[in-house]
Amino acid sequence: MTSHLVIGILNGDDIGHEIVPAAVEVTRAAAAKTGLEIDWRPMPIGRSALDTHGSTFPEGTMETLSKMDGFILGPIGHQAYPKVPGAINPHPIMRKGFNLFANVRPTKSFPGLGAIHEGIDLVIVRENNEGFQPDRNVVAGTGEFRPTEDVTISVRVITRVGSSRVARAAFEIAQQRKKRLTLVHKNTVFKLGCGMFVEECHRVAKEFPEVTVDEVIVDTMAMRLIRDPQSFDVIVTTNMFGDILTDEAAGLVGGLGMAPGLCIGEGNLAMAQATHGSAPDIAGKGIANPFAMIESARMMIEWLGHNRKIAQAVEAASIMEKAIAAALGNPATRTRDIRGTADTAGMTRGIIAALG
Ligand SMILES: NC(=O)C1=CN([C@@H]2O[C@H](COP(=O)(O)OP(=O)(O)OC[C@H]3O[C@@H](n4cnc5c(N)ncnc54)[C@H](O)[C@@H]3O)[C@@H](O)[C@H]2O)C=CC1
Ligand SMILES: CC(C)CC(=O)C(=O)O
């Protein structure tokens, strides 16, 4: 079996130019220790690509990425893009184009970082392509319409296929962990949409008899995440609920710098994408917390290792995990947002040093 992976590097915007190189550096160092060969392919994207290629998402990007094993996508600061042709938000195109329907977002508390609770270790699996960001094949554009100047209609699309595939991804993760899955929805009000999502989750549950399933209504979940986050293991929910709850969960463990994510589907390609945005308020200062991006890259290498049966990738992910935990345990090798004294480069060096 080959130990060779081809991975794209797409920095994104603002702090993306600081944290994506950090993720590449750490992954490269871990790969070198395990004999994993990675062919890194930097690609233009975002504001800088608008200047060099006339588009924030240059033509041919999807085609090139489709031949790779995975890619690291830095945060995209699309709100600040100028209103010119070519300045587009690449996220939905990538998530939908590669059918990356499951956004796997772990939340873990590490001691001493200012987590509101200790002992949090949960994973939110967010449906990535439906809800209020529906697939272009189902509803044109973003799913928003303005039939008159005074009325806007935002369409929320839930399908059986979309619900059952993200449910299956969540059950598979639950099966590998504590065998507990919480369905988060609001079928008390959205009887058809959330109703269909819940129905499909229960249908998939029959394939996983060892996994215990419970349900929590989303507004109650917002409260319970703050009061007793330790009572959850794996959570699956629809797109917008997942978008909001994952940021809330990050707030419990030190903030958005602690919020990694991996977008996966049924195909072989994985996209490492932190939960947070491009943080323009701290960009260029060298102080961004690289954890979320480094951990996202680590999750991708681990997923590819299992998916392709590449022992060196699984091993690289494992030594990264230990090194990240070691660096987080020392204020001198963690950033200021998580009660440390290091800058981005210092934390990155700290993790690499801890690889052994
Ligand atoms: N996945 C993505 O690419 C996302 C992109 N965005 C875009 O990012 C831009 C900024 O959006 P905001 O609402 O300000 O959200 P944001 O996530 O960029 O920032 C929110 C707050 O968290 C802090 N923060 C975020 N990541 C951090 C890190 N790694 N280390 C330390 N602090 C960190 C920021 O400094 C800021 O105070 C917008 O253009 C938005 O559309 C927003 C969310 C997701
Ligand atoms: C696509 C992003 C810009 C919005 C977001 O926060 C997300 O969907 O993850």
Over residues 189-240, the pLDDT tens digits come to: 999 999 999 999 999 999 999 999 999 999 999 999 999 999 999 999 999 9
In the chain, what are the domain boundaries?
Answer: 1-101+263-355, 116-252
Q: Whose CA is nearest to atom 36 of ligand 1?
A: 279
Give me the pLDDT at residue 282, please: 98
Q: Is 276 in the pocket of ligand 1 (CB under 6 A)?
A: yes
Site residues for ligand 2, CB cut-off 6 Å: 91, 243
Q: Is 282 in the pocket of ligand 1 (CB under 6 A)?
A: yes
Give me the pLDDT at residue 91, please: 86
Q: Whose CA is nearest to atom 33 of ligand 1?
A: 257
Q: What does the pLDDT look like over 37-88, one tens digit per residue?
A: 999 999 999 999 999 999 999 999 999 999 999 999 999 999 999 999 899 9
Please report, for residues 222, 246, 248, 264, 347, the alpha-carbon distance to residue 219 in angstroms, rounded to integers and kept in the order given. 5, 14, 12, 27, 36
Query: What average pLDDT does the segment 141-170 reach?
Result: 92
Of residues 32, 38, 42, the one with CA closest to residue 8 = 42
Of residues 74, 4, 29, the one with CA closest to residue 317 = 29
DSSP 182: E
Tokens linked to 323: 């090194």
Give me the pLDDT at residue 144, please: 84
Name the CATH superfamily, with its identifier, for domain 1-101+263-355.
Isopropylmalate Dehydrogenase (3.40.718.10)
Give me the pLDDT at residue 268, please: 82
Give me the pLDDT at residue 136, please: 60
The CATH number of 116-252 is 3.40.718.10
239 Cα nearest atom in ligand 2: 8
Helix (H, G, I), strand (E, B) or coil at 161: helix
> How many residues are listed for the chain in this entry?
356
Give me the pLDDT at residue 267, please: 82
Give me the pLDDT at residue 141, please: 62
pLDDT band at 114 (very low <50, low <70, confident <90, very high): confident
Helix (H, G, I), strand (E, B) or coil at 35: coil
Q: What angle do CA 191, 107, 203 make, to 5 degrees?
A: 35
Rg for the chain, CA atoms, rounded? 20
Q: Distance between the two ends of the chain, CA-based, in angstroms?
A: 26
211 sits in which H/E element: none
Determine contact, residues 259/246, Cβ cutoff 8 Å: yes
Determine contact, residues 267/98, Cβ cutoff 8 Å: yes
pLDDT band at 138 (very low <50, low <70, confident <90, very high): low
Residue 179 carries which side chain, given as an amino acid letter? K
Ligand approaching nearest to the C-alpha of 23: 1
State the ipTM, two decimals. Answer: 0.97
Helix (H, G, I), strand (E, B) or coil at 236: strand
Q: Whose CA is nearest to atom 6 of ligand 2?
A: 243
| Average pLDDT score, the chain | 95
pLDDT of residue 257 exceeding 70: yes
Q: Is 288 in the pocket of ligand 1 (CB under 6 A)?
A: yes
Q: What is the pTM of this model?
A: 0.96
Give me the pLDDT at residue 80, please: 92
Q: What does the pLDDT look like over 301-350, one tens digit per residue?
A: 999 999 999 999 999 999 999 999 999 999 999 999 999 999 999 999 99
* Topology alike, domains 1-101+263-355 and 116-252: yes
Region of residue 114 (left: phi > 0; alpha: psi -120 to 50; beta: else) = left
Pairwise CA distance, residues 57 & 283, whole Å: 21
Pairwise CA distance, residues 165 & 98, whole Å: 14
Give me the pLDDT at residue 2, please: 58
Query: What average pLDDT does the segment 19-23 reach?
Result: 98
Give me the pLDDT at residue 139, please: 62
Residue 277 CA to ligand 1 center (angstroms) comes to 3
Tell me the best of 263, 276, 293 to mutate to test the pocket of ligand 1, counting ligand atoms within 8 Å of each CB and taking the most. Answer: 276
